[in-house]
Structure formats: C-alpha cells, structure tokens
A = this chain, B = another copy of it.
Amino acid sequence: MGITQRLLQYGPTGGLINDLIAQQLQVDEGIAATADRVLVTSGCQEAISLCLPALCPTLSDVLLVCNPTYIGATGAARNHRIPIEHIPNTGSALAAYIEDAAKRLHDRGYNIRALYLIPTFDNPTGYVLDIQQREEILTLCARLRIVILEDNPYGMFRFDGVPVPSMAELDHTGCVIYLSSFSKTLAPSLRVGAATLPLTLFGSRNAREELMRELLERKSLLTLNTSQLNQGIAGGILLQQNMSLRSWVEPARSFYHHNRNTMLNCLDREFNAMNKQIRWNKPEGGFFISMSLPFDFDSDTVTDCALRHGIIVMPMRFFALDESQNRDIRLSFSSVSPQQIQEGISSLAKYVESRLASEMPPQ
C-alpha cells in the first residue's frame, strides 16, 4: 500500500504509530511498552470509553474512582451503566480506602474491576501520589485483581521536586493500563491518545491478548480507526524528536512553571492573612491548584464570579460524587497569562472577602 493510500484510506483499527508511541513510553516514562500492546485511540477519552465497558462487562462490575475526579471517567462509566464507587481524593492513604471499598462492595455482591487514577498532578486536585503509596496500591490491586487505569496527561509538566515513577513503570504483576494523551504535549485537536496494556494481565498473557482483541472490536464499532493524518502528525513529531517529547514540551512546561509560581505568589499575598479556613496546595507540576473556602461555592457563584468579577474558577463540586467538595474550588493556571493570574487572584480575593463579610461571623 502506497503512502497516499495509507494516509487517506481506512487504516488498521489498532493504529499506525504504535511502535513510535511504545518507544516514547520507554524513553520518556520508563515503561517497558511494546507496539503490540499499544492501542491508538481518538484521544485519551476514547481510550477510557473503550476500557471501562471491557473491564466491567456485568452489572456487578464496579469502577472505583477518587472523589473528586475527572468527569470524563465517571461520565463514560455512566453512559455504559457501570456502577461507580468512590474513595476520598486525599492524596494519601488511598490503599486503605480501596481495601475498605472492596470489602464493602464484596459484601453487597459487587466487585471492583477497575480503578481510574491520575496519580501525577491529578485533575482536579493537583495531588501527586508518592512512590510508597503507588507500591501499596499496586500490591493491593494485584491481590484484588483490580485493573488500574493510569491516566497521565500532566506528567511531563513537573516544575520542581523529584519525579515519581509512573504506576505502569512500577507494575510487575500486570495490573496497569497506561493511558497516553497527546493533548497537552502536542495539541488537543489532534485527538490522538493511546491505551497501553501490561505484558500480562495479572500474570496471564492470554488474558491480556483477549482484552486487546475486545478493545479492538469495540474501537472498530466506535470510530473504526484513529485518523491516519493525525497519527501521521503525532508520529512525525515523535520521529523528529527521537521519540522523546521532553524538549518539545519545554516551552510549555516553562510557561506553566512561571504561571504556577505567579499564582502561588498571588495566593500568598492575597489570602494568607484573610482567614485560616482558606487553604490551598502547592503542586510541583501540572495545571491545577485546589483551594478550600469557608463557604459554599456553587454554579451561581461561578456565574457571579465570571460576570461581575471577570474570573472563571471551577467549583470542585463539578468533579464530585457527593457533597464533600462543596466548599472547594479548582484554580487553573495553564491557559492564562501571568497578568491575568494576578488580576484574577486579586478579583477572587475581593470576592471571597465580600462573601466572608456578608456570611461569616467575625473571627
């Protein structure tokens, strides 16, 4: 088949650039990936939508998520009528929560089959799981036969601190499916992502091959194949960059780094003396800072902030599965300029001050 045919005709369901993605995972993430275990998808969101129903085929098969979490994961589960259970997204002690949830569900006739996790610079919280937590979760999930869907769209954007190995790199029992997104590293409009299966699924190579066949079947009924034009662009950049996107993302990483610093400085300046119940984390990378406020932050508040104060923040409740996040918000520093950050945090501070004055008893 000539190059024109390969670029314009129907293409292989599983992808064209699987080998290049496998190499990038080896070089950039230390993951021992091979081309036959890579499924190229129309963005990482499709990978999630393919994996969830394949891993949770019956109505007693449960997806476990952190609360709050990326709504694309819970939404995809709902679309496939997959029951969702959640554990607190505290950034620590997750293994204990998982074990707890598994027991609780088992007693009610349910089994956790998949755990959706963004272990590095989580969306929406910005948390990073340390290596000890990762190991604990891996050991537990291997024992309980829970497949971990490791979503890692922000991992390349670390600004300081020591890198933590990905769950897929640490996985030696075959329980991690690694989800690649090129939306943050290349461009969202490429709609190229990937799911990379472990060498074995809980020790069984057959089970992994069976899972890949099922994912291919599902992919062929969802989008047939990922556009070869877009795979060609992604693959071309990977080739030109010798399979590493580290230097390619450097300008963006540096931009986000500066933005994170600006936002943390502004938060310190504006909020440190305001109220002790106002807290925020200081993530070492990623796109997001999470912030706790001493009052409810709902969709009316969002509208009010946007229209009257010129700032857009995301209430954590948008990502939540219960009421526990009603006072938290997510601040994003990825697609704004430093000046917008300064003005935005100033506006937010004024808004918060006025809310405190009108609602809170004097301290």
Which A residues fall within an 8 A CB radius of B? 7-11, 42-43, 45-46, 49, 53, 72, 75-76, 79-81, 183, 187-191, 217-218, 220-230, 233
* Interface pair A9/B222, CB less than 8 Å apart: no
Which partner residue on chain B sits nearest A219 by CB separation? Answer: B45
* Interface pair B45/A189, CB less than 8 Å apart: no
Which partner residue on chain B sits nearest A183 by CB separation? Answer: B10
Copies of this chain, whole number: 2
A14 to chain B, nearest CB (A): 15
CB within 8 Å for A190 and B229 given contacts A42-B42, A218-B79: yes
In the assembled complex, the Cα of A225 lies from the Cα of B229 at a distance in Å of 16
- Identify which of B9, B46, B79, B189 contacts A11 (C-beta below 8 A): B189
- Identify which of B75, B81, B183, B222 contacts A45 (C-beta below 8 A): B222
CB contacts (< 8 Å) of A230 on chain B: these are 227, 229-230
In the assembled complex, the Cα of A76 lies from the Cα of B190 at a distance in Å of 24
- Identify which of B72, B75, B189, B223 contacts A42 (C-beta below 8 A): B223
* Interface pair B220/A43, CB less than 8 Å apart: no
- Identify which of B7, B10, B46, B188 contacts A9 (C-beta below 8 A): B188
* Interface pair A190/B227, CB less than 8 Å apart: yes
In the assembled complex, the Cα of A225 lies from the Cα of B188 at a distance in Å of 9
A276 to chain B, nearest CB (A): 37
CB within 8 Å for A189 and B10 given contacts A75-B221, A220-B75, A221-B75: yes
CB contacts (< 8 Å) of A11 on chain B: these are 188-189
A319 to chain B, nearest CB (A): 14
- Identify which of B191, B222, B228 contacts A226 (C-beta below 8 A): B191
- Listed by A's residue number, 6 A-B pairs whose Cβ atoms lie within 8 Å are A7-B189, A9-B188, A10-B189, A42-B223, A43-B223, A75-B217
* Interface pair B224/A45, CB less than 8 Å apart: yes
CB contacts (< 8 Å) of A53 on chain B: these are 79
A287 to chain B, nearest CB (A): 13
A332 to chain B, nearest CB (A): 13
* Interface pair B79/A189, CB less than 8 Å apart: no
CB within 8 Å for A46 and B188 given contacts A227-B227, A227-B230, A230-B230: no
* Interface pair B8/A189, CB less than 8 Å apart: yes
* Interface pair B10/A188, CB less than 8 Å apart: yes
CB contacts (< 8 Å) of A229 on chain B: these are 189-190, 229-230, 233
Which partner residue on chain B sits nearest A222 by CB separation? Answer: B49
* Interface pair A8/B223, CB less than 8 Å apart: no
In the assembled complex, the Cα of A188 lies from the Cα of B188 at a distance in Å of 21
* Interface pair A222/B222, CB less than 8 Å apart: yes
In the assembled complex, the Cα of A213 lies from the Cα of B222 at a distance in Å of 20
| Supplied contacts A42-B191, A72-B221, 19 more A-B pairs, CB within 8 Å | A8-B187, A10-B183, A10-B189, A11-B188, A43-B223, A45-B221, A45-B222, A45-B224, A46-B223, A75-B220, A75-B221, A76-B221, A79-B222, A188-B224, A189-B227, A190-B229, A191-B224, A227-B230, A229-B233
Which partner residue on chain B sits nearest A224 by CB separation? Answer: B45
Which partner residue on chain B sits nearest A72 by CB separation? Answer: B221
In the assembled complex, the Cα of A230 lies from the Cα of B230 at a distance in Å of 8
In the assembled complex, the Cα of A95 lies from the Cα of B224 at a distance in Å of 31
CB contacts (< 8 Å) of A227 on chain B: these are 42, 189-191, 227, 230
In the assembled complex, the Cα of A211 lies from the Cα of B336 at a distance in Å of 34
Considering the complex of A and B, which 10 residue pairs feature the smallest CB-CB distances, nearest first?
Answer: A8-B187, A75-B221, A191-B227, A10-B188, A189-B228, A76-B221, A42-B223, A8-B189, A45-B224, A49-B222
